[in-house]
Structures are given as structure tokens and as C-alpha cells.
Structure 1
Amino acid sequence: MQLTTETNIPVYTLKESSYNGAEHFEIVKGEALTTHQKELFFVPHRNNFYKFVFVKSGQSKHWIDMVPYVVKPNAFYFSSPQQIMLKEESTCSRVIGICFTDEFLNIEDNRVLRQLPIIQNPNYGHELLLSEADVAFIDDISEKILEEYNRGDNWRNSMLTAYMQVLLIYMSRLYTAQVLPDNATTDRELFKKFSQLIEENIVRVHDVAGYAAMVNLSAGHFSELIKEQSGKTAMQHIHDRLLLEAKRLLFHTDTSVKEIAYQLGFEDASYFNRFFKRLTESTPAAYRTAVREMYH
């Protein structure tokens, strides 16, 4: 596995990694990564866009955050902008890949898509296993999206929006069944908002009261509602998000523990060390050594 020595994880735009120079939406059918932008993918990186890949055949290996995946045929893979990716190896695969940015989701007709579980991705999932019926449905709708994408008439964007809604709603059903915890309720609107607020504010807001104030609720009532909707307290979600980002940086970079503490908004490295050890029973430095020895 190749580990970057850069202080910061590079973030690639859709235009940088696009096959066709697309800025906000692209769908591509064909062979998976071979030589296209190879230098971008074989180092730890984030994308500033959402990436969905329907794999029909072939095999490859990559990492999402600290989890290795061996790509399977007839499976669906997805990633969100905050996740760290690293490609290890790739053989020729038949895939359909769909990428789109926040700007695409902000188009008026697409805003409903932002609330779907697979877009929110509160559990940082990446892989969905497909039945024969799922494969047939996704293959069909993906081909329709591809056909519409390659058209040039005035109705193209409206048709793309309609097909994308169908695909993402279908995938959100699978996400809910395979990724969300069993004790989560179906009413998760506040939790969806909380998840978005955490992504936007985690390095500067570490307390429940700060997030509760953003939605005009008391800290106690806010935490109760979050637990009802997700199975965990608001503070657990805040700590889990801080811990995840810390592990990402410890695993994928050589950034010092002190600098990671600073990047994540901790007052000092000693406080960060105590926080990390309380949640993992390991210091940040010991965790970095252990996971690199295990997975290198």
C-alpha cells in the first residue's frame, strides 16, 4: 500500500478526474481504471463529488477510509466527498460509473435527492450487494441514463433528473436495508440535518449545545431526538466523526499527531491524545503504527 507523505489529503474535482472534462455530472460506460488519470487514484485522496459505480465484471482492490474492498461483479459501489480513497490494483472490468457534484444536487429539480439516505450516507457505507432483480433494474436504468446523457436535445436535463431520482431512490432502499442500523427509526429528518451540520462544522464545534442551537432546540431535547432517530446520542455522533477523521489522517498521511489535533480543532495535542485513547484504548501514535503494520 502506498501512503502519502503530504500534510494534506488532495481533493480532486470532477473536472480533474473526468473522462470528458465534465464539471458537474458525468456517466461513463466501459473498462474501469486502466491508464486514465492513474496518478490521481493510486494515492490517498478525496473527491469533491459523489461517485457511483455499478460493476458488471472484473476485479480490483481499493480502500475507503481504513476499510479494504475487493470489488465484486454485480455489485454497486458508492462514495461521498468526505471519504478518503486509495486504489491498489485494477484489472479490466465492465462498469458504469456516475459522478455528480453538489452543484448538480443544488439544481432546483434535484434538491430532493440530497435528503436520500445514499446521498446523506450517515454510516459512511460504500458497498451494496445486489440480487438478480437488483442487477437487472440497475443495469436498465443506468443504460437509460447513459443514453439520455449522450443526447443533445432540450429535454435531456429533465430526463436525466427523472432517471437519477429513480436510481437514487432505489439505491436508498438498498442502503436502508443493508447499511443503516436496525434500531434506527424511519423518521430521520433531524438526524439528516445533524449529519450535514457535523460535516460542515466538526473542526470547530465539538459540543451538543452548539449543534442544538443551530436548529433552535435545547441540548437535552436535541440529543434525545437524535438518539431516537439513529440509536446513538448526539455526543456519540460528534465523537465518532472526530475519531473517524483522526483515523483517516493517521492511516493515510504522515502528518504529526500534534498537527492532526490542530486540524481537528483540539486545544492541544495532549487533550487529543486523551480523547483518542479513551475511545480506542490506544494512543494516536500507537494506532498509526499498528494499522500500518497490519495492512501494509
Structure 2
Amino acid sequence: MNRDVPHIVFEPGEKENFGFDLVSIDFIQQQKGFNHNPEHPHQLRFYNLIFFTEGEGRHFIDFNWYPIEQNTLIYLTKDQINAFDFSTDFKGYCMLFTEDYFASSFSHLPKDFVFRLFNPQLFSPILQIPKNSDFNSYFNLLLSEFNNRLIFNQKSILESLFVILVSKAEYYKQNQTFHIKDSSNVQLFQKFTTLLENNFHKTRSAIFYASKLDITYKHLNEVSKNLVNKTAKKVIDDYVILQAKRNLINSTIKSTQLAYKLGFEDATNFTKYFKKHTGLTPKSLKKRYQ
């Protein structure tokens, strides 16, 4: 039996496929008996903003459970592992969109702002929208316009409303988390994470990434600590472990193969590294989530 975690691709309903879709959680719950069970871990190939409008419960994101309640907004970026838990009653909607749609919709905004939007390293994926805010009004307007098939220039209207909605959320995020005032640090951290994504299988040395950025190891550490409260080495290790976890539950790959894929000399070193950072062996982690 294939136990791989499903890769969920963007498949809009009856709407013209311009890269955006809006789906109720009730509809997603009904899919349990079809292609995949939404209560089982699955990996997105697109972006997803989940807005919970009623009830409470929890949601699984990259191997952690997060509490949700009325007016909770969840940010899910492409390739993240997530799952619903329908053991409690809640309602809401998923705003699904492709990477191309994301890039075009926010192309006129500052790059550091766009980078912050869906970056799980910088912020928690959970945002609680204040009950007395006008976020709900804008969301209901977005939902109404989305369901109006006869609307003129619907794509532009939806895009404008969606950008407003996300901008509103970012305003509330500033009040609930620390506000990054130095955009140059954000840009530097973005370059660091991009380098990490492209080179993590080659090296886990923070000194290597600092040299590639033409800064000192101390400077990279300071930026990392200021932004995410982690050393640069911790950022690297957390990223490698996350990729290892995703690979372990996403395929039938063996530890030896994964060790080489992630840049380890042999499976023994990889197993020691993995257990040091997770308290589990790769095999036990795989069994837990399958």
C-alpha cells in the first residue's frame, strides 16, 4: 500500500483558472473518502490562507499542532505539511492561490514585505484577527464577489480585495508580534535562506553562508538572532531537519538514500544528527506519521 503523503496540487472548481480559489472547510471535510483524507498529513503545492469563522480546534502544520478558534487566520506556504482535525466543530474557508498568482498580486509592494508574508521562519503561521476589526467585512465582500459569476472584471476585483485583506492581516500581525523595523536585515536574512535552500545538501556551515553573503559570521548571527531568535547554525539545522522530516514521511526513501541526499557522508551520521535534534530516529519518525 502506498503510504506517501499526498501532494495536493492547485485544482480550482468551476472558476476560470486564474490562480485563485476560495473553498469552504465543509467542502474539504467531505473529501475524506475521495483522493485523500484532509485529516491525514498532506503537502501543498500552492499557498493557502485558512480563515476560521466559527468554533475552535487545532490544525497540524509542519509536525506541530496549533490551536485555532473563531477569527484565527492560518498562513500556509507552498510545500508545507498540514492536516485538519475534525474532531471538533468549526467552520471557515481556504483561500488557495498559486505561486504565480502570489507573485503578480503583490508585485507592486516592497520585496521585504512580500518575503515576510508567508515566511514560517519569521513569524508563527497563526494570526488571531481582532473581533472588532473590519477584516470580516472585507472577507465577506471577497466571498460575495467570488461567488458572483456574472461580475464584470472579476479577476481584478478579487485580486484587489485579496491584497486589501492580506494587508489588513499584516497590520494586525504587527500588533501581535515584534515589528521588524530594519528592512535591510530582512533582505539579508532572505538572501541567507535562499542560499540555504540551494546549498543545505552541500554544507551546514554558518561560516560558509556568511562568506557567501560577504559578511562576518558574527554579523549573520546577530541578524538571525534579532529576527528569529536563533543562531544562524540553529536556522540551518532546523531547515535540514524539516527537509528530512518531509522526505521521510513523503516517500519510501531509505535512511541511507536520504543521508546522501541531505549531504551526509553515511546513514549513521545522519541518524545521530537527526536524533540529536528530534529525539527520534528517522525510522520512528516515519512510523509515527504513517
- Is 1:48 aligned to 2:45, yes or no? yes
Instruction: Say whether the 8 Å CA contact 2:121–2:228 is kept in structure 1.
Output: no
Instruction: Tell whether the 8 Å contact from 2:72 to 2:129 is kept in structure 1 after alignment.
Output: yes
Larger RCO, structures 1/2 (Cα 8 Å, 6+ apart): 1
From 72, 75, 88, give the equivalent of 2:72: 75
AA of the residue aligned to 1:276 = F
| Residue deviations 1:113-139 (CA, integer Å, cap 9, x gap) | 7634332232573322333124xx221
Deviation digits for residues 153-183 of structure 1 (CA, Å, limit 9, x no counterpart):
66544433332222222222444554x5x5x
1:13 aligns with 2:9: yes
Contact 1:29 1:95 in 2 (8 A): yes
TM-score by length of 2: 0.76
- Residue in 2 that maps onto 1:242: 240
Structure 1 residue 201 displacement after superposition: 4.4
Q: Distance in 2 between matches of 1:84 and 1:20?
A: 26
Change (3 A) 1:202 1:20: farther
Measure the CA separation in 2 of the matches of 1:113 and 1:12. Answer: 30
Aligned to 1:63: 60
DSSP 3-state at the match of 2:192: helix
Deviation, 1:80, is 1.2
Cα offset, 1:238, TM superposition? 0.7
2:222 matched to 1:227?
A: no
Is the CA contact (8 Å cut-off) linking 1:122 and 1:195 kept in structure 2? no
Per the TM alignment, residue 58 of structure 1 is displaced from its structure 2 partner at its CA by 4.4
> After the TM superposition, which residues 107-256 of structure 1 pair with which residues of structure 2 at under 5 Å, given as runs?
107=104, 109-110=106-107, 112=109, 115-116=113-114, 117-123=116-122, 125-134=124-133, 137-149=134-146, 150=148, 155-178=153-176, 185-187=180-182, 188-212=186-210, 215-250=213-248, 255-256=253-254
Q: TM-score normalised to the size of structure 1?
A: 0.75
Judge conservation of contact 1:185–1:230 (CA < 8 Å) in 2: no
Structure 2: unaligned runs, 5 residues or longer: none
Deviation at 1:46, TM superposition (A): 1.0
* Cα shift at 1:202: 3.3
Distance 1:268 1:65 in 2: 26
For the structure 1 residues 28 and 283, does the alpha-carbon distance in structure 2 shift closer, same or farther, using more than 3 Å as the test? closer
RMSD: 3.6
Where in structure 1 are there 5+ consecutive unaligned residues? none
CA contact (8 A) 1:120 1:192 kept: no
Corresponding letter in the other structure for 2:91: R
Do 1:62 and 1:89's aligned partners in 2 also have CA atoms closer than 8 Å? no
Mapped to 1, the partners of 2:71 and 2:106 lie a distance apart of 30
CA gap of 1:121–1:151, structure 2 versus 1, over 3 A, is farther
Mark the CA change 1:215 to 1:248 in structure 2 (over 3 Å): closer, same or farther: same
Aligned in 2, Cα 1:160/1:197: closer, same or farther, shift over 3 Å? farther
Give secondary structure in 2 for the equivalent of 1:170.
helix
Give the deviation of 1:111 after TM superposition: 5.4
